[in-house]
Amino acid sequence: MGLSLPYNITEHEGIGYADSRLDSATYSYRPSTGLGFVFDTNIGKKSDFSYRLNLEYSLAEIDSSSRLYYSDYKKHAYRIINTFGLSLFHNRHLRLWAGPRINLQIEHAASSSNIRNYNSYGIGIGAALGLNLRLTEKLALGCDIDYHGYRLFGSERYRSYDGVTIGDQDYYTLLAGSNKGATARLYFLVKFGEHYTERSPAEASSLIDPTL
User: pLDDT tens digits for 2-12?
Assistant: 999 999 998 98
- What is residue 172's predicted lDDT score, i.e. its pLDDT? 84
10 Å CB burial of residue 149 (0-12, 13-18, 19+) is middle
Domain membership of residue 177 (yes or no) is yes
- In residues, how long is the chain? 212
Domain membership of residue 210 (yes or no) is no
Mean pLDDT of 149-171: 77
Domain membership of residue 206 (yes or no) is no
Model confidence at 202: pLDDT above 60: no
Domain membership of residue 151 (yes or no) is yes
Number of domains in the chain: 1
Give the chain as a DSSP string: -EEEEEEEEEEEEEEEESSTTS--EEEEEPPEEEEEEEEES-SS-S-SEEEEEEEEEEEEEEEE-SSSS-EEEEEEEEEEEEEEEEEEEE-SSEEEEEEEEEEEEEEEEEETTSSEEEEEEEEEEEEEEEEEEE-SSSEEEEEEEEEEEEEEEEEEEEEEE-SS-EEEEEEEEEEEEEEEEEEEEEEEEE-SS----PPPHHHHH-SS-TT-
Q: How confident is the model over 93-104, as pLDDT tens digits?
A: 899 999 999 999
| Beta strand pairing call for 116-134 and 166-190 | unpaired
Domain membership of residue 100 (yes or no) is yes
- How far are the Cα atoms of 9, 66, 68, 109 from residue 23, in angstroms, in the given order? 27, 7, 7, 18
Nearest-angstrom CA–CA distance, 207 and 175: 44
Whether residue 17 contacts residue 189, with contact meaning beta carbons closer than 8 Å, is answered with: no
Q: How confident is the model over 44-59, as pLDDT tens digits?
A: 778 889 999 999 999 9
Average pLDDT, the chain: 84
Domain membership of residue 29 (yes or no) is yes
10 Å CB burial of residue 11 (0-12, 13-18, 19+) is buried
Domain assignment of residue 172, given as a range: 2-194
Domain membership of residue 183 (yes or no) is yes
Q: How confident is the model over 10-40, as pLDDT tens digits?
A: 898 888 888 877 778 788 888 889 999 999 9
Whether residue 35 contacts residue 41, with contact meaning beta carbons closer than 8 Å, is answered with: no
Q: Is the pTM of this model over 0.85?
A: no
Q: Which residue has the higher pLDDT, 72 or 146?
A: 146
Q: What is the CATH number of the domain that holds 63?
A: 2.40.160.20
- What is residue 3's predicted lDDT score, i.e. its pLDDT? 95
Whether residue 64 contacts residue 31, with contact meaning beta carbons closer than 8 Å, is answered with: no
Domain membership of residue 150 (yes or no) is yes
